[in-house]
Structure 1
Amino acid sequence: MHGPDLVSWLLAVLTAASGGYCLSRLRHAPCSPAEAVPAEGTPTEAARADGPTAARRRHWRDHESDLAEGLMGCGMAVMAVTGTAVPGEVWAWVYGPPAVLLLLAAARRPDRRAHRLHHAVGALAMTYMALVMAAAGPGHSGHHAAADPPALTGALLVYFGGYALWSGSRLLSTDGGTVPVASAGLPRACRLSVVIGMFAMLLTM
C-alpha cells in the first residue's frame, strides 16, 4: 500500500483490531446476532434433534460473518504493512477460493445472500488490490497503476463508500433513536471499520 507510513500503520492497527475481535467471537456469539437465522428451540435441543453434523453446520453458518470479517481485517492489516513484499498471486490464492465459495453459496441459498455477496465482493477486492499493487512494483505510484482499470477501482470505491455510509447510519440510529449498546453495536462497528479500511486502501493504492 502506498502513502505515508503513519497512515499505513494506523490502518493496519485498525483493521487488525477489528479482524481479531471478530475472530475471537468464533468461540462465542455470532458477529451479527440480530441478523443470524435462529434454530428452532434451544441449541442443545437442535443438536439433539439434528445430530452433531447438523449442529456443526449451524455453528459455522452462524459464525460465517465473524470468519469472513476476521480474515478480511487481518489480511488488510498484513497488506497495509507489507505492501508488495507478498506476491499478488499469494493473495489471489488466499482470497480467490473463499470468494468463489461465497458466490456459490449465495446462488444456492437465499438466506444471507446479501451478506455472502458483500463478503465475496470484499474478497475479490482484496485480490484485485494485491494484483494491481504487484503489477505496479515497489518503484511506481500505486495511484498511477490503479488508473489502468479506472472503472473497476471507481466501482469498488463507490460500493464500499456507500456501504460505509449505510452501515454507519445503522450503527448510530436505532428504533429508540439511541446508539446501540456494546453487545450489538461493537460487532457492527468492527464491520464498519473493515469497510472503511477497504475504502482507504482502494483510495491510496
Structure 2
Amino acid sequence: MDSMSGHELDESNASDWEQIPLPKALSKLRDETQVAHCMLWFRTTQSHNAFSFLQLRFDGLLGFPGGVVDEDITSIESIIDALQREIHEEINFETTISVDDYIYSFYNKNLRIVSHFFAKQITLKDAESIEECHMKARDFPHESLGLFRIPIGCSYNRDSYYLRRFAKNFLRQKFSGNVKKQIIDVCEKFKIMSSHDLNFFKAQLQ
C-alpha cells in the first residue's frame, strides 16, 4: 500500500501520471519512490464471464493490491519480489508474478512517484481462496480495508447490458492513479471485453 508517513498524497488525478519506459525508471528515476501494483483477473467456468479484484485502500481510494517497493531497485525482478511480498501482506495470497505480467510504468513528477503496473490471470479456485482468506492478511484492516470483485468481461448480450450499467456507475468512483485506464488497457490487451463493451468503458472516461 502507498502509505508514506508525513505526506498527504493525492494520487487520484490521472492526468498527473506520465508513461515512461522501464529502463528510465530503473536508472534516472531509481531514487524516486517506487510502487508496484497488480491487477489479478480471472474467468468463471459457467459463462466465461471475467472479473478482477479491487480493494478499498486506507485513504478511501480504490486500487489494485501492491504498494511501496522498499528494496533497492536494480531490475524488474527486484520490483516483482517486492510486489509479491506486498500482495501477500495485503490480501494473504501467495502468487508468482513474472516479467511477462509487466504492463507499463508511469511517473508523477509532482509526487515523485514511479508506479509499475502488472496484470496476472489467476484461476477461479485461486480467486475464491482470495475472497475467503483476504481478511486474514497482515495489513487488514489497516492499509487494506477489503477486497471485492468487479466484472470486466462477458459472453452474452444480456450480461453485456449489466456490464455497461455497472461501468456507467462504478467508474464515477475515486480511484488511485491510473486504475481506470489500467482496467481498460488490460481488457484490450487480453481481449477480455468485446469491442462494443470496451468502447463503452472508454467513453465513460471522457
TM-score normalized with structure 2 length: 0.28
Q: Which has the larger radius of gyration?
A: 1
TM-score normalized with structure 1 length: 0.28
Q: Tell me which protein shows more helix as a share of its residues.
A: 1
Q: Tell me which protein shows more strand as a share of its residues.
A: 2
